[in-house]
């Protein structure tokens, strides 16, 4: 039957969709309903016997908007939904262009979940949140653009204000998807050129990705620049870690096969090595342990990027960013609950967001580099004009005065008045010198037992960081250098541990100095390096071992002759004068002359001179003022004086202990006539008359009691 009835029947029939990409099907091809694109892709792959490799974790989304992003995952999806390779007839219907036709009239574009019923299509159970789904699909496009042959040549301003390339389907099809440039065949150690190339490329992708975010597009132009500047360092690091193929626990591989690992690079600035170790230890390991998928990564990246606390963002923008971030955060949590269940979702959600703290720390440490790199990019890469817009971006001028001041603050000045002024580094300012003098690039200074160098990094930023160790004799130890004891069983290392240059002793149960091993808490004397006070003979050292760490030597006092004075304490010299040991600089000590009045003690609104003695009847103790400190010398009980540490039996089966801090009565049996007072909620106050404080053992909690004789 023809006519309107037939037309209505066809129009009401549900659209059948491609099982591979959820686009509208043009018929059954190789056993399943599929579109022309997936049909041709599957047939070409079989006919040419092609094999593909996934650059990620073989979890790429296959959707009609990004179906060309990963050919490996697309082909695997073809096989999963049931396409039959045996249904392809060789030498028939040669591969060529086939005009796309549809069996049904055009329909309004709607979501795949509405186009395809569950009975027709088996699709991956993804988050129903539209924003999260959009972020995931956009992330796949970013991956394709990052691997493409397209080389951007636009300036920063042009890139920010131009239309988004990721939303240009023609551009993505021609430049990004059909022409992948970077594939890993052979790996090689990354050079400085590799780092520069991939950082610049990821900055370009970051700008295009940011323009897909509705919140970002709604911001004024200066706020857009503020967000981009905020993520200029951390965004490439995050992308490097997530997209790196797994070539080992301590290796990050770029898409072209260049890689870096934990191998120290002495020729590079130490700041570079520190950042590299942070990426390996604090990002790569936890992200691989959690097995973060693309949806989680895309959401986390957006949450960190949309930071309302970024510098130079105005109040209105802060509100917009906060609302946008909250929406994505809520959607991410719902996605995790659906993926892992309510019990595991909370833990996973918290662990993922904690990575934001790592990124924030990296951002603070590299803030100087971020500002300099972005400002240099703005000022030096403008091809047609050097004009920079102010906050209302209506009046362009060559350079903002505040930005010039920032360059001076971060050790740079401008030379010349041209549109592209020359940027000249002033130098580095040592932290132990209170002056306006700068170290020139290449010069060094000794601080805190380390040799600090002023060096220009790969991004043009001056770094003032430790580049070598100084041993107790003032000799330089370069990173990686070690010195052994005569028996060869103990080694002193100067190397990078936990992202920082340190001197450590390995295979020794203690601290090493002058071919001697000192145990934990043991003290010894070392000469000062670059002594601040030549009147003292050395510095008093002590061996410490922090929990789960190496043994460390700490400066704890001053030494003159046979007199050792701890830092902050007082001492008396042979000539009768009094001195105080102070730490003038970190690692360096000196003796400061003090008057006898500074050695007084204060107690109960009374002042006692140095070396004076008195009896405190309330506390039942003989006291002494010793160099500004009140010292308990003995206990008084009745008419008896007991030395510190002595125990004597008293009535009611109790034992009296003369403790350096308080008089303690220990009773084995509970005495019902005691007045029990919980010291957590009530102060005992002064003890008067014949009352004493008694420690009463109790299985549930420790109580103090007041006992009356």
| 90-101 tens-digit pLDDT | 544 444 433 333
Going by pLDDT thresholds of 50, 70 and 90, the confidence category of residue 670 is: low
Using alpha carbons, select from 204, 199, 213 the residue that is nearest to residue 304.
213
d(CA 30, CA 344): 41
Largest CA distance in the chain: 125
Tokens of 307: 């930071």
pLDDT at 203 over 80: yes
Mean pLDDT on 597-625:
87
pLDDT > 90 in the chain, percent? 4
For 87-219, list the strands marked E by DSSP.
188-189
d(CA 641, CA 659): 13
Tokens of 709: 């004789």
Mean pLDDT on 10-31:
74
Going by pLDDT thresholds of 50, 70 and 90, the confidence category of residue 164 is: confident
pLDDT > 70 in the chain, percent? 64
Tokens of 27: 């018929």
Mean pLDDT on 543-560:
80
Give ∠ CA 137-232-138 in degrees, rounded to 5.
5
d(CA 43, CA 90): 10
pLDDT for position 689: 37
Going by pLDDT thresholds of 50, 70 and 90, the confidence category of residue 342 is: confident
424: left (phi over 0), alpha (psi -120 to 50) or beta: beta
Q: Which residue has the higher pLDDT, 536 or 366?
A: 536
pLDDT at 545 over 70: yes
Tell me which of 79-93, 412-426, 513-527, 691-705 is least confident: 691-705
Tokens of 388: 């920079």
Strands 444-447 and 450-456, sheet pairing? antiparallel
Strands 258-260 and 188-189, sheet pairing? parallel
- Enumerate residues 6+ apart whose C-beta is below 8 A from 519: 509, 510, 543
Residue-wise pLDDT tens digits, 294-307: 889 999 999 989 98
Going by pLDDT thresholds of 50, 70 and 90, the confidence category of residue 109 is: very low
d(CA 207, CA 224): 10
Q: Where are the alpha helices (DSSP H) in 599-695?
A: none
This prediction has a pTM of: 0.39
First to last CA, the chain: 116
pLDDT at 357 over 60: yes
Secondary structure class of 588 (helix, strand, coil) = strand
Q: What are phi and psi of 311, to 5 degrees?
A: -60, 145
Are 563 and 573 spatial neighbours (Cβ–Cβ below 8 Å)?
Answer: yes
d(CA 28, CA 16): 10
Q: What are phi and psi of 70, to 5 degrees?
A: -130, 110
d(CA 63, CA 74): 9
Find how far residue 117's CA is from the centre of its chain.
Answer: 44
Q: Of the spans 244-253, 265-274, 394-403, which averages the highest pLDDT?
A: 244-253
Q: Which residue has the higher pLDDT, 621 or 514?
A: 621
Give ∠ CA 206-207-208 in degrees, rounded to 5.
90
* Mean pLDDT over each residue of the chain, to the nearest integer: 71
pLDDT for position 622: 92
Determine how many CB atoms are found less than 10 A away from the CB of residue 63: 20
User: Any bridge partners for residue 665, and if so which?
Assistant: 656, 694
Going by pLDDT thresholds of 50, 70 and 90, the confidence category of residue 575 is: confident
Using alpha carbons, select from 399, 402, 428 the residue that is nearest to residue 415.
399
User: Any bridge partners for residue 445, and if so which?
Assistant: 452
Going by pLDDT thresholds of 50, 70 and 90, the confidence category of residue 407 is: very low
Q: Of the spans 300-304, 436-440, 699-703, which averages the highest pLDDT?
A: 300-304
Using alpha carbons, select from 560, 343, 529 the residue that is nearest to residue 450.
529
């Amino acid at each position: 039957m023809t006519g309107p009835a037939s037309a209505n029947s066809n129009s009401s029939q549900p659209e059948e969709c491609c099982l591979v990409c959820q686009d509208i099907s043009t018929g059954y091809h190789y056993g399943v309903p599929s579109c022309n694109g997936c049909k041709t892709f599957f047939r070409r792959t079989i006919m040419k016997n092609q094999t593909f490799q996934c650059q990620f974790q073989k979890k790429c989304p296959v959707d009609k908007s990004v179906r060309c992003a990963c050919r490996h995952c697309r082909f695997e999806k073809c096989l999963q939904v049931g396409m039959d390779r045996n249904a392809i007839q060789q030498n028939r219907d040669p591969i060529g262009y086939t005009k796309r036709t549809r069996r049904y009239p055009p329909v309004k574009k709607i979501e795949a979940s509405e186009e395809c019923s569950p009975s027709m299509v088996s699709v991956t159970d993804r988050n129903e949140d539209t924003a999260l789904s959009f972020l995931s699909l956009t992330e796949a496009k970013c991956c394709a653009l990052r691997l493409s042959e397209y080389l951007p040549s636009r300036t920063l301003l042009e890139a920010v204000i131009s239309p988004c390339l990721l939303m240009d389907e023609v551009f993505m099809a021609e430049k990004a998807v059909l022409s992948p440039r970077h594939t890993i065949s052979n790996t090689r150690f990354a050079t400085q050129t590799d780092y520069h190339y991939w950082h610049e490329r990821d900055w370009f992708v970051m700008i295009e990705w940011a323009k897909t975010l509705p919140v970002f597009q709604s911001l004024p132009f200066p706020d857009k620049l503020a967000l981009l500047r905020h993520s200029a360092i951390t965004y490439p690091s995050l992308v490097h870690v997530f997209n790196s193929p797994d070539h080992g626990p301590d290796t990050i591989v770029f898409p072209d096969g260049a890689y870096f690992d934990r191998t120290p690079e002495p020729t590079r600035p130490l700041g570079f090595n520190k950042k590299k170790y942070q990426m390996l230890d604090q990002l790569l390991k936890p992200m691989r342990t959690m097995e973060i998928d693309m949806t989680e990564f895309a959401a986390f990246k957006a949450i960190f990027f949309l930071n309302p606390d970024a510098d130079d963002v105005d109040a209105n923008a802060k509100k917009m960013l906060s609302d946008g971030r909250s929406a994505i955060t809520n959607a991410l949590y719902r996605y995790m609950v659906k993926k892992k269940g309510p019990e595991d979702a909370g833990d996973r959600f918290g662990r993922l967001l904690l990575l934001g703290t790592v990124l924030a720390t990296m951002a603070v440490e590299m803030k100087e580099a971020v500002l300099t790199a972005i400002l240099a990019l703005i000022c030096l890469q403008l091809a047609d004009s050097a004009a920079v817009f102010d906050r209302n971006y209506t009046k362009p001028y060559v350079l903002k005065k505040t930005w010039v001041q920032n360059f001076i603050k971060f050790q740079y000045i401008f030379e010349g008045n041209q549109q592209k002024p020359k940027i000249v580094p002033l130098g580095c300012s040592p932290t132990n010198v209170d002056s306006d003098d700068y170290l020139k690039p290449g010069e060094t200074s000794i601080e805190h037992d380390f040799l600090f160098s002023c060096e220009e990094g790969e991004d043009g930023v001056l770094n003032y960081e430790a580049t070598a160790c100084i041993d107790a004799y003032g000799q330089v130890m370069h990173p990686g250098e070690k010195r052994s004891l005569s028996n060869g069983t103990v080694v002193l290392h100067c190397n990078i541990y936990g992202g920082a240059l340190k001197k450590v002793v390995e295979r020794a149960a203690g601290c090493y100095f002058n071919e001697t091993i000192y145990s934990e808490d043991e003290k010894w004397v070392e000469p000062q390096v670059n002594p601040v006070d030549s009147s003292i003979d050395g510095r008093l050292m002590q061996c410490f071992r922090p929990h789960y760490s190496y043994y460390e030597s700490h400066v704890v006092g001053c030494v003159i002759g046979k007199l050792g004075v701890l830092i902050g304490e007082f001492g008396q010299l042979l000539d009768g004068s009094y001195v105080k040991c102070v730490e003038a600089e970190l690692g360096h000590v000196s003796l400061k002359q003090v008057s006898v009045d500074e050695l007084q003690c204060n107690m109960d609104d009374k002042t006692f001179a140095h070396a004076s003695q008195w009896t405190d009847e309330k506390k039942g103790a003989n006291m002494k003022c010793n160099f500004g400190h009140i010292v308990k010398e003995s206990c008084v009980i009745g008419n008896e004086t007991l030395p510190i540490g002595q125990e004597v039996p008293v009535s009611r089966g109790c034992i009296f202990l003369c403790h350096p801090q308080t008089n303690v009565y220990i009773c084995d049996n509970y005495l019902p006539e005691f007045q029990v007072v919980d010291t957590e909620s009530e102060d005992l106050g002064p003890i008067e008359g014949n009352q004493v404080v008694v420690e009463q053992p109790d299985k549930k909690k420790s109580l103090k009691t007041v006992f009356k004789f």
